Structure 1
Amino acid sequence: MIQDTETLKSNAIGSKRIQHVGSDSSEGPIVVLFVGLHGNETAGVKAVDRVIGSLLKESHIVNGSLYAITGNMEALSQGVRYVDTDLNRLWEKFNTEQDFSLSNQQNESTPVEHLESLSIKSAIEDILSKHNQHHQEIIFADLHTTSSESCAFILLNDTLANRSVARKFPVPQILGIEESIHGTLLSYINNLGYRAIGFEAGAHTSRNSVIRSEAFIMLLLHYNDMIKLEETELSEYETKIRAYSDVPDTYFDIRYHHIIDDSETFSMMPGFKNFDPVDIGTPLAYHDNKLVKAPETGRIFMPLYQKRGNDGFLIIKKVSPFWLTLSAWLRQSFIHSILKFLPGVRKVDHQTFEINRDVAMFLVKKIFHLLGYRVTEKDSSTFVCYRR
């Protein structure tokens, strides 16, 4: 059952799975925060403690409910990214043949993160059950940090509803992360039909990451009409999370993703930070003792400087404002009803299409992205396009 937080430990990492402040009523705005999904990312955990501590001292009146769900509690206690498997890469397994929640057999070989995810899933279901009459008022946010130095930024699955939440923050916005990084909790929440964004505060061990995480939470509550910040407070928090002067406060999308099977075989060249500009051909890393160069010009994104993970680096580029405006209009147009008549396009169900790449060869991903679809590869000749 959901319990209000009454006391907070000064070092509350892993002390509670779920904390709640605000109204006992099911009505009003609802914000649900996830922190510590990776055990080496403690900034969000510390920021939640600071925010909740402040709210409990009645420095602000809370309209609605704020929930904070701690993620990988065992990994947090050990100070590692994960114990057996990445907790933020397994959420796509639910409701598939790999759904480990259907098994009643749990033993010493059961991955720690499977048990952690089931507990988190139960907490989510409790919250949704309590607020089931207020579906449109719920916002989820997942707080993270990165292994390299970085300004703050937001990750989002590219839906118009997610854009409306994320665009209020004066930081770069990265669209369509779910196509490159699979099995995330954000995608799971979006697939349930709720708004969800990710906030990356900066480097794992940076004090600024705690400060930015706290500022993000306070701004999210303010923007969602849960608390009322004075103009000076609002300006102060926005200044704390604002991007570096050389990083545009705009939308980006992912153009290249360098995936690795074994992080021990990958070594990023030193000195790269999130959003650093790179030209095509720039040496970036060594993978399996081979030099990896930038396949195109853009900005480096999430370079891997830790020995756990499968995402070596990504390259991102700015998205044109015209493209964003056009996509917003098209997503609410009649175009979806005629897609099934296009060459190489087969309708699977009311929100899914399969595309024969040998027939529909040109601009498939761009067109379906424009219309708000997630595009994944089923095999070498087939795209699956799922309407977000």
Structure 2
Amino acid sequence: MATFPHFGTDAIHAGQDCKQWKSKAVIPGIFLSTTYQQDVPGQPDLYEYTRGGNPTRTVLQSCVAALENAKHGLVAASGLAATSMVLQMLSAGDHIVSVNDVYGGTNRFFRKVLSKYNIECSLVDATNAENVEKAITDKTKVVWVESSTNPTLQCIDIQAVANTVHKHKDVILVVDNTFMTPYFLRPLDLGADVVLHSATKYLNGHTDVLMGVLCTNSDSIADKLTFYQYAVGAVPSPFDCYMVNRGLKTLHVRMRMHQENAMAVAKFLETSPHVVKVLYPGLPSHPTHEVAKRQCKGYSGMVSFVLKGDLSNVTKFSQSTKVFILAESLGGYESLIDVPSVMTHASVPAEEREQLGIKDTLVRLSVGLEECGDLVEDLRQALEAASSA
């Protein structure tokens, strides 16, 4: 749970008390040992084997739990490893209801992996909680949404969905909070049962670590997740835990700048004659702006837009930028361009992409921490170049 009244103080100090180490080192150490001495056979002290626990990992888990105002925090080797830990709580014949505009890797996991175990998934427009209600059956065990969907940035009314979910016994609500981060939104406070992050993105913030995070206030869910963390073994290295713990120290500062730059970029794009539509929750033109305004502290750093023309124009645009880099992923200090239809969401069937508005001309920007004027100018000249493709 949160230990200080303000987010930035928790980010820097939660789980970091240097008095817990005899050295009193201000910065937590990296404990690389894979095993730990036992004084009595079969009676380990705090740790036994690094898959089951590690001091560096404990520090990180304590910190992320505090940031999400959670009782329990766990980390995994990737965001999809964290996804797998949650879904390993299911049994053959169970059912999932998921927001339709979900990350392509999650969509692929539902369709290509869980389907092998007779676990079905219904994809619905979760911006309307009634759609979730209609999709829930007596076999449903998990409702899966994103705090801001990938890539059309729809903001789900988490409290409304939670109220719907909790009418049904044994159904849990999982919220992927990767895009918003706990700085802008804490889904557990709105009724979610589990919060997930790809810590590869904003939590680490430096594009150099692969990791996933899970947080919950439920002791029973935490016990199950801890078991799967140990039994399946998709745990991150101590060094990666150290890196993400370090990244968290500047999360609040970075997210303020990501949002400031993203807002400027979104407003500029709305004025461009080369742009059909801009999708940014902070703009009044976004269909879920009022939801975002009500439940979020801010709007984060992701901006999507539809470019005039076709894939050739998008290709020219992405090859003409000098600051923005054409690459997958997001949430680092550098600005990135993604073309979801052929990159992050290429595994989603074409007919589904069409229904969701993930056209070849949809561009997703992860707006970084560069100087705002340089970002806007870079987009301006690239849009000009794209218009002549």
TM-score for both structures, normalised by structure 2: 0.27
Task: Determine which structure has greater relative contact order: mean sequence separation of CA pairs < 8 Å that are 6+ residues apart, divided by chain length.
Answer: 2
Higher strand proportion (structure 1 or 2):
1
TM-score for both structures, normalised by structure 1: 0.27
